[in-house]
Amino acid sequence: MREIKFRCWIKKEKRMDNVDFINFAAQFTGKWECKPNDLFDVATKRGRLFNLEDVELMQYTGLKDKNGKEIYEGDILALKTHYNDVVFGFVVFNYGAFCLSSRETYYDDELISNLGVEFEVIGNVFENPGLLEENNEK
């Protein structure tokens, strides 16, 4: 069974962080909340909470790249194909599964667990927004 965990992009602060918990019960107050794990205030023993509209949540796919790095939604992957070409794409959640979205039609919306090729996380769409375009122009 895969580990269920999330990270988030904090929009105003323009930074990525792991998520410690998500308060889904807050929906009844009109707010959803999450708490990144490094924002714990030791003095007050409380964390900083964010409304979910202030962050982009990304779920862990349960997969790791060739270097052992965990793969999350929004990660940009470099894939070495069976023909030794390199294709670039990013991880999305489509049709109930984690897929690779790419300009290369033969990998568009392909399940990343079924690719059968070597891949490496080279960034993500929030911290490296131009990375995908740069690599696809080559």
- pLDDT tens, 102-133? 766 555 555 666 666 778 999 999 998 888 77
Burial bucket for residue 4 (CB in 10 Å: 0-12, 13-18, 19+): exposed
- pLDDT tens, 24-51? 665 555 555 666 655 555 544 455 677 7
Whether residue 21 is found in the same domain as residue 68: no
Whether residue 13 is found in the same domain as residue 70: no
How many structural domains is the chain composed of?
A: 2
- Residue 133: helix, strand or coil by DSSP? helix
pTM over 0.75: yes
Say whether pLDDT at 57 is over 50.
yes
Whether residue 52 is found in the same domain as residue 70: no
DSSP 8-state symbol, 134: H
Domain housing 18: 6-56
